[in-house]
Amino acid sequence: MDDIITLDYGSGGKKTSRLIEQYIVPAMDNPALAELGDGAILPGGEKLVFSTDSFVVSPRFFPGGDIGKLSVCGTVNDIAMCGGEPKYLSCSFIIEEGLPLGELEKIIASMAAAAKKAGVQIVTGDTKVVEKGRGDGLYINTAGIGILKYPGLSPRAIREGDAVLVSGTVGDHGAAVMLARHDLARGEIVSDCAALNTLAAALLSAVPETRVLRDPTRGGVATTLNEFIEGTSLGIELDEKAVPVRPAVQAACELLGLDPLYCANEGKLLAVVPEERAEEALRALRSLPEGESAARIGSVTAAFPGKLVLRTPLGGRRVLQKLTGAQLPRIC
C-alpha cells in the first residue's frame, strides 16, 4: 500500500475499502463496525442526546493530544454537558491528498484509545479525500449519541446567588496548541484534552440540582459564561484571583498576547450550582483526578443583568464580553 493518501482513497472503490478495512476497523476493535454498511444499528429505549463537532485543529499533534483524541473527547464532552451518558460515536474523515498513512494510523489509534477510555463505541464512519491544497492534512467530524441521565440542565435554570465552578486550571489547551503552532512547545504546558463524562456524572449524582454544565472550548471561560446569561436579567461576577491558571500558561499567554479566560479548554467544565450545594459540588469534582483543582470562581448576581463582570485582585471591576474576532483560529 502506498504510504501517502492519494485521491484514489476517496473514490469509494478498492482503495477506500482497503483504507477502512486495514486501518480503521481493526483499530476501532468494534463488532458493530464489522458489517461495514453505511449506518450502525443501535439498541434503543431511552431519551437520547445527539451532538456533533468538526475538528480542524492546527497542528494535528500537540503536547497532550492530537486531532484524533480531541475529536473523541470533544463530542463525548458535549453529550456529557447535556446530562447524557455518551454511548456511540460516528467518525468522518476529510483527508487532504498527500497525508502520510502512518500519520492517519497514529490518529486513528489515538481515537480508538480515547473512545475506550471514555467508554464509548465508534460505530459508523465515512472517508472523503480532497485534492492537495483543498484541505489541511486532516479534518475529523464526530457525532455522538448518549442516553439522557440528567434532564433539565439549562442556562434557564440559573438563579440569583448560584455559585459558578470550574473543574480545574484554565487555558491549558489554547496555550499548548498556540505554542505548538509557533514551534515554541515547552514541556510544562500540555493540553488538558480529556473526556469529562465521568467527572460530570460524579458531579450530577452528588448534586442533581446542578443548573447547567458546559465545557468552555473555543472562546474560553469568558465566552461560555456570557452565553449562560446573555439576554437574561442575571449577571455573573467572576473573581479573577479565584480562577486557577497554571503559572506557565499565564506566562505563555502573556508572551502570545492572549487572555487565559478566552483560551480554549478541552478537558474542563463550568458548572452553575445552587449556593448551598457549592461545597458538595466541589467535593464531588475534587474526588476525581481530573477535577482535583476545581474551584469556585464566581457568583450569579442580579446586579449586572446580562453581563459578565470580572472583579480584579485590586478590587476593580470590568465587563468581559464574548470573544470578538478570532483570538485562536483552529484551536479545535
Residues 77-136 that bind a second copy (CB under 8 A): 78-79, 81-82, 84, 88, 90-94, 123-126, 128-131, 133-136
137-176 positions binding a second copy, by CB under 8 A? 139, 141, 143-148, 151, 154
173-212 positions binding a second copy, by CB under 8 A? none
Contact 262, 222 (CB under 8 A): yes
Q: Which is nearer to a second copy, 23 or 88 (CB)?
A: 88
Q: Which is nearer to a second copy, 303 or 321 (CB)?
A: 321
227-246 positions binding a second copy, by CB under 8 A? 227
Q: Which is nearer to a second copy, 90 or 169 (CB)?
A: 90
By CB under 8 A, is residue 15 in contact with a second copy? yes
Residue of 97, 294, 266 lying closest to 206 (CA atoms): 294
Report in angstroms how near the CB of residue 312 gets to a second copy at its nearest.
22
| Region for residue 318 given its phi and psi (left: phi exceeds 0; alpha: psi -120 to 50; beta: otherwise) | beta
Q: Which is nearer to a second copy, 54 or 301 (CB)?
A: 54
Candidate ranges 188-196, 217-225, 290-298, 307-315; the one touching a second copy (CB under 8 A): 217-225
What is d(CA 171, CA 175) in angstroms, rounded to the nearest whole number? 6
Burial (Cβ within 10 Å: 0-12, 13-18, ≥19) of residue 38: exposed
Residue of 19, 35, 37, 16 lying closest to 27 (CA atoms): 19
The DSSP output letter for 310 is: E
Q: Return the residue of 10, 68, 168, 171 that touches a second copy, per CB under 8 A.
A: 10
Relative to beta strand 235-239, strand 295-301 is antiparallel
Relative to beta strand 138-148, strand 235-239 is unpaired
37-66 positions binding a second copy, by CB under 8 A? 37-56
Strand, helix or coil at 326?
coil
Residue of 103, 284, 97, 249 lying closest to 178 (CA atoms): 249
By CB under 8 A, is residue 322 in contact with a second copy? yes
Report in angstroms how near the CB of residue 201 gets to a second copy at its nearest.
16
Say which residues have a Cβ less than 8 Å from residue 82's Cβ, sequence separation at least 6.
49, 51, 146, 148, 153
Q: Which is nearer to a second copy, 177 or 282 (CB)?
A: 177
| Region for residue 191 given its phi and psi (left: phi exceeds 0; alpha: psi -120 to 50; beta: otherwise) | beta
Contact 126, 33 (CB under 8 A): no
What is the grid cell recorded at 288? 476525581
Report in angstroms how near the CB of residue 14 gets to a second copy at its nearest.
5
Instruction: Report how many residues bind a second copy under the rule CB under 8 A.
Output: 83
What is the grid cell recorded at 239? 473573581
274-303 positions binding a second copy, by CB under 8 A? none
Q: Return the residue of 2, 35, 160, 279 that touches a second copy, per CB under 8 A.
A: 35
Q: In this structure, is the dihedral angle defined by the CA atoms of residues 284, 287, 290 and 295, taken in order, positive or negative? A: positive
Report in angstroms how near the CB of residue 179 gets to a second copy at its nearest.
19
Report in angstroms how near the CB of residue 222 gets to a second copy at its nearest.
9
Q: Which is nearer to a second copy, 183 or 187 (CB)?
A: 183
By CB under 8 A, is residue 20 in contact with a second copy? no
By CB under 8 A, is residue 265 in contact with a second copy? no
Q: Which is nearer to a second copy, 56 or 207 (CB)?
A: 56
Q: Which is nearer to a second copy, 4 or 41 (CB)?
A: 41
